[in-house]
Structure 1
Amino acid sequence: MARRVLGLVAVLLASAVPGLPVQAAPMAATAMPANYPVLVKLFADWRRTVLPPVADGKPDYSPAAMAKLGSDLKAFRARLAAIDRTGWAVTANNDYRLVEAELNGLDFDLRVLTPWARDPTFYANVFADWSDVPAHEGPYAHPNIDLYAFKYPLNAADEARLTTLIAAIPANLAAAKVNLAGSNARDLWTYGGRAFAEQSDTLEKLGAGTLVMRTLDGARPAPITGAGPKLVKAIADARAATDDFAAWVAAEAPKKTGAVGLGKEHYNWYVKNVELLPYDWDAQVALLRRELDRSIAALRLEEVRNRDLPPIVPLTDPAAYARLVKAKQARFSQFLADTGLIPDAPWSRKAIADQAIEYEAPEKRNFFTHVNAYDPLPLLSHFTHWIDLARMRAEPHASPIRRVSPLFTIYSNRSEGFATAFEEVAMQAGLYDDVPHGRELVWIMLANRAARGLASLYVQSNEMDLAQAGKFHAEWTPRGWSDAASPLVGFEQLLYARQPGYGPSYVTGKLELDRLLADVSHADEVAGRPFVMRDVMKRVMDAGIIPVALIGEEIIPAGK
């Protein structure tokens, strides 16, 4: 992260990808405007201010504190508007627009989403696993307690810090009961205990020394052997408070009668002003319905194509499956290098190799493990997520504004959309040419993403509740591989209700990449230049984790 134009890094790092170390990087060779440091300073001040005040691990989400945050937002808007951008190049202007989008995100949270006053899951803030996107999926209370960000066994300083954070959980959950007093969104309560059951399980395993965390560098344990009595007590008290809060949410849920969706008008404002996405609710419904139709029709045609091939027989031996995954990981990384779809680098290959796909017994499978049982390649293609994160650590972006994780899930269409796109991109580029039935799995994956995203749109417009959305989501996933009653479907639909735009982003972001490649191709054709996929993808990735529309502005010559 960076401070000054080149030195404001320390503060921004608090909002960077959790677990990534501080690394300075030189600014890009392209000269930035003389007053660009004003924007960087504003951004550093903003990232300090946007988080609620915290004392001893206890944040203040009271109405008074949120009103103060709203007043601060007005001052930041005035500062941003006062920056003279005369003559600014597109890259600098896009950094400005990223800052503006974050301000819009807080505006939306304060006016509409209000997760601290509406959403019980907001207060489940203990995380064992490193998310595969730049930040946690959805809104959660600050400070996030990212267990994977600590080095184990804990040194004295880290043990003291972790003790403070975990010891604050009982007080934070007590405050949450007050903050949520006016919440009436029924499904947020009906489904709201799930995250706390998971948090309780995480705390139990942490205290027992059996917790295994998923990180960018693979799975690793979190032993607290030798921890002092303060940490041991804090963990036990936090777990008891978590269980008590889950019981309170369950008791309150039957009293709630309100809808969970935010309505089309609010949804459209969010996707336009925060996600910087050109598709409103109606357009997204049409696009996701089209992708659902296309994926299912393509699946049935693949089945005709493969009618004479023997079926895939899933492995039943965990050891043999682990060997298969390792071979597929190596194959996929080599494929990316050979095609140039992602620039080859040791950290890129390591990012894929470190993310294990575990064998799952048939009776325990959810949608993704059904797919994995037949072939892990489709999900490995989605693991380009982890390559993005590895790049942020190994080659931090020159811009101090792009070097940190975007707030308010501004990253979703770029991160989730590109990861989904790479499933089909790799397929169309030949990954499955010698894999019988492999293409069928890719179409099934896309159908699932389109079905669940379409359902989430109907939740936002209050045409479905979460139970109906889960049923639609499962019914339109081919081969019966999705179960509406499964924890996975419940988690996904709750997340998409909590965070508007996230459910569709897997498909809308994929379509944004399609459009970007088409626009670059057209500009090259008009200019008489060759279209070189390797070069185009390098420029796309070099732009950073930013909205796709901004990437297009940077890599396509103006007026083309």
Structure 2
Amino acid sequence: MRISAFAAVLLSSAALQPAIAAPSTGDTMMMQEKTPQALADLFADWRQVAAPERKQGVPDFSAAALERQAEGLAAMRARLSALERSGWSKRDQADAQLIEAEMNGLDFDLRVARPWGRDPSYFATVFAEESDVPAHEGPSADVIDLFAYDYPLSAQDAAELEARLRTVPVLLDDARTYLADGNARDLWQYGSRAFNGQAAALDELANGPLEMRTVEGTKVATLDGAPASLKDAVIAARDASRDFSAWVKAQAPSKTGPSGLGRENYDWYMKHVQLVPYDWDEQLTLLQRELDRSLAALALEEWRNRDLPQLEALDDPAAYNAFAKAKMSEFIDFVIDSGFLPDKPYYRAALEAQTLSYIPPEKRVFFYHVTALDPWPLYSHDIHWPELARLKHDPEVSAIRQVPPLYNIYSFRSEGLATGFEELMLQAGLYEDAPRARELVWIMLANRAARGIASLHVQANEMTLKEAGIFHSKWTPRGWADPESDLVGFEQLLYLRQPGYGTSYIIGKQMLDEQIARRTHLLQLEGKEAPLPEVFKSILDEGIVPWTLMQEE
């Protein structure tokens, strides 16, 4: 079925309903007993305040509604500050800090970012695929997850989905008013893309079948057996998405203002919302260092492998699919046998569900250039999916950590861990019999460093998105990142819309390194062994929270 009633209340926030199923009511009661009741109650109330008011079934971003939300925020801040915290564990204290960071995120949106008035993509609300992180990347006015339903639809689900989709034309009509004074040039220049994708997904749903990626594998959606009124709602939402895309495209040439939030605002956001201890300048230094390191490491690998044959892509789809399946099986065995993940069926299933299929050369964007030669680097990044499966099958003891943090506060933890796991697997010996594939790990790392550097310059209004794409492409080895590709455009737009997401892969990876270093060093000072898989497991056990809150525990 869909997300539970508990999750619908707790996560009705505009930015981020979860991409994972929430716990049952019984699980929630159990978790709240382990979280101080006053803190659990505050969290549930806060998430209702964080959600926008709704008018006629759609989010309301009118001046009066936003003023009332600001008043609610002030009241919640005061309530959080007044909580009696004696007897709290370090984890409870960290959970309170996480709630405060979310409050700072809403404050930032109300004062600075104002996505409802600047960012057309904010009003793209229909999602076909589950994200590989706890919630959808980037802010959205609302969330309608097509993948969250079971198909064929029950009568109840069909009625609910129809009601949700009928809000799409209404919201997009309202958005024209909210965006009337928007002048952020790049957000408009690239703003029609999300609605083209939304319209395409709705068109596939209307005409069937629509294939969607989830943590449990590909889900196929059709409207077979559903009432005709649902298909009418799907088509109306599709047509409204197409019309809005055309409107944004027509408006874009008149937009001339800056799109980045500036260094000062970026620094505040990092410190008070993302809980990252590095400002704009420090992040630039760290990313440049990682770009240099990855390129130097690639050069060394290529020199060491100079007498070995180059990797060749398989041109036969059946042969590639068999290859990719075998590589996934080997990867899962390695990760589990090495002790980095316990041998649980849902971990294996979550990884197996991400087994790649053949992509023809003309459709290969950056990651598919890598995986055409060897899928292991991307399979390593897929550590995301076992984490999502764990949230579903083995819920967190903290009600606050069971659900995704708002404002993508998870990004440095989730993306950093997944990026770091790519190199961990390389150093742990995964590629002992595939030396040429080691080169691909460094190419992946260089790509992420280059696009992160570009994203910093965009936030500082020192590059346009087009210039960022060119830089991103220039510093990605082997010419595999086409600046005109949909992928490069999507990535740089996301990093503009969500400050810090572009740097989270590299900075978060370095913060993972810091966690490993501190934990192994402490064990060694105590005269204990510090096997890396056990240390890694201790990090996973903290849950998906900012690295800095782990350190404080």
Both proteins in one fold, TM over 0.5: yes
**CA contact under 8 A between 1:28 and 1:399: conserved in structure 2?**
no
Deviation at 1:525, TM superposition (A): 2.3
Give, in whole Å, the separation in 1 of the partners of 2:96 and 2:426: 36
In structure 2, the residue matched to 1:244 is 243
Report the counterpart of residue 60 of structure 1 in structure 2.
Answer: 60
Q: CA deviation at 1:9?
A: 7.0
Question: Counterpart of 2:67 in 1: which secondary structure?
Answer: helix
* Equivalent in the alignment of 1:71: 71
CA distance in 1, matches of 2:230, 2:304: 60
Deviations 1:96-122 (A, max 9, x none): 111111111111111111111110000
Contact 2:455 2:503 in 1 (8 A): yes
- 2:9 is equivalent to residue 11 of structure 1: yes
- Secondary structure, aligned partner of 2:212: strand
Structure 1 Cα separation of the partners of residues 326 and 357 of structure 2: 14
Cα distance in structure 2, aligned partners of 1:8 and 1:40? 13
1:210 CA drift (Å): 2.1
For 1:25 and 1:106, the matched residues in 2 are separated by 28
Aligned to 2:106: 106
| CA offsets 1:506-544 (integer angstroms, 9 cap, x no match) | 001000000111111221222222212232222111110
Which residue is equivalent to 1:558?
Answer: none
- For residues 224 and 28 of structure 2, the distance between their equivalents in structure 1, rounded to whole angstroms, comes to 41
1:373 aligns with 2:372: yes
1:500 has 2:499 as partner: yes
Shift of 1:57: 3.6
Partner of 1:347: 346
SS at structure 2 position matched to 1:154: coil
Indicate if the aligned counterparts of 2:447 and 2:472 stay in contact, CA closer than 8 A: yes
Residue 122 of structure 1: aligned partner = 122
Aligned to 1:383: 382
Quick one: which amino acid aligns to residue 405 of structure 2?
P
Choose 530-539 or 371-380, whichever is displaced more.
Answer: 530-539
Q: Contact 1:25 / 1:397 at 8 angstroms: preserved in 2?
A: no
Q: Which residue of 2 aligns with 1:557?
A: none
Counterpart check, 1:449 vs 2:452? no
C-alpha distance in 1 between matches for 2:6 and 2:129 = 29
What's the CA shift string for 1:57-85, capped at 9, x where partnerless? 41112121111111100000000000122
Distance 1:432 1:447 in 2: 19
Aligned to 2:286: 287
Q: What's the counterpart of residue 490 of structure 1?
A: 489
CA distance in 2: counterparts of 1:158 and 1:29, whole angstroms: 28
Match for 2:19: what amino acid?
P
Distance 2:338 2:277 in 1: 30
Q: Structure 2 length normalisation: TM-score?
A: 0.95
| Structure 1 contact 56–164 (Cα < 8 Å) conserved | no
Q: Residue 45 of structure 2 aligns with which residue?
A: 45
Shift of 1:87: 4.4
What amino acid is the match of 1:22? P
Alpha carbons 1:19, 1:148 under 8 Å: kept: no
Give, in whole Å, the separation in 1 of the partners of 2:106 and 2:417.
Answer: 25
Whether the 8 Å CA contact 1:312–1:436 is kept in 2: the answer is no
Instruction: Give distance in 1, aligned partners of 2:532 and 2:201.
Output: 44
User: Within 1, Cα distance between the matches of 2:423 and 2:41?
Assistant: 41
Do the aligned partners of 1:27 and 1:399 also contact (CA within 8 Å) in 2? no
Amino acid at match of 2:369: H
Q: Which residue of 2 aligns with 1:528?
A: 527
Identity of aligned residues (%): 53
Partners of 2:42 and 2:80 within 8 A in 1: yes
Looking at structure 2, the residues matched to 368 and 291 of structure 1 have their Cα atoms a distance apart, in angstroms, of 19
Is the 2:11–2:47 contact (alpha carbons within 8 Å) kept by the matching residues of 1? no
Deviation at 1:322, TM superposition (A): 1.1
**1:81 and 1:17 mapped to 2: Cα distance?**
27
Instruction: Output the CA distance in 1 between the equivalents of 2:458 and 2:449.
Output: 14
* Alpha-carbon separation, structure 2, partners of 1:538 and 1:28: 24
Instruction: Indicate the RMSD between aligned Cα atoms, in angstroms.
Output: 1.8
Q: Which moved more, 1:436-445 or 1:358-367?
A: 358-367
Contact 1:77 1:103 survives alignment (8 Å): yes
| Matches of 1:236 and 1:29, distance apart in 2 | 41
CA separation in 2, counterparts of 1:526 and 1:215?
A: 43
Cα deviation digits, residues 407-465 of structure 1 (max 9, x gap): 10000011111111110010010010101301100000000000000100000111101
Assess, with a 3 A threshold, how the Cα gap between structure 1 residues 30 and 258 changes in structure 2: closer, same or farther: closer
SS of structure 2 residue aligned to 1:408: helix
**1:375: how far off?**
0.2
Q: Which amino acid aligns with 1:43?
A: F
Q: Counterpart of 1:168 in structure 2: which amino acid?
A: T
Identify if the C-alpha distance between structure 1 residues 344 and 55 changes in structure 2 by more than 3 Å, giving closer, same or farther: farther
* Maintained 8 Å contact 2:28/2:399: no
Report the alpha carbon displacement of residue 31 of structure 1 after superposing the two structures with TM: 9.5
- Gaps of at least 5 residues in structure 1 are 1-6, 555-560
Letter in 1 for 2:96: Y
Q: CA deviation at 1:404?
A: 0.6
Taking the aligned partners of 1:237 and 1:31, their CA distance within structure 2 comes to: 45
